[in-house]
């Protein structure tokens, strides 16, 4: 929300998709009118991982998703 940043480090070599989904659902509950999200990624993030994150946002009710590369500023 605003410039709030959420980080999801790998656990046992993989990203925790379930935790991501849980966290974005919590945000949607707090801000039900919010429809947009920006995913900020580093260039070396695998495409499949990016799509998994976008899927989590869509599932939580964020239909307006932007992707920014180069990492968080």
pLDDT in tens, 8-40: 788 888 889 999 999 999 999 999 999 999 998
> What is the pLDDT at residue 73?
57
* 43-72 pLDDT tens trace: 788 899 999 999 999 999 999 999 998 765
Residue-wise over 46-67: b if at least 16 C-beta within 10 A, else e?
eeeeeeebeebbeebebeeeee
DSSP H/E element including 49: helix 47-60
Looking at residue 42, its pLDDT comes to 81
Count CB-CB contacts under 10 A for residue 24: 20
For residues 26 and 32, give the distance between their C-alpha atoms in angstroms, rounded to a whole number.
Answer: 10
Threshold 0.75, pTM exceeds: yes
């Amino acid at each position: 929300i605003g410039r709030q940043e959420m980080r999801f480090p790998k656990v046992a070599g993989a990203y925790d998709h379930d935790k991501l989904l849980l966290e974005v659902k919590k945000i949607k509950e707090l801000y039900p009118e919010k429809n947009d999200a920006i995913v900020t990624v580093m260039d070396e993030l695998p495409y499949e991982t990016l799509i998994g994150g976008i899927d989590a946002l869509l599932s939580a009710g964020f239909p307006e998703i932007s992707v920014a590369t180069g990492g968080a500023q």
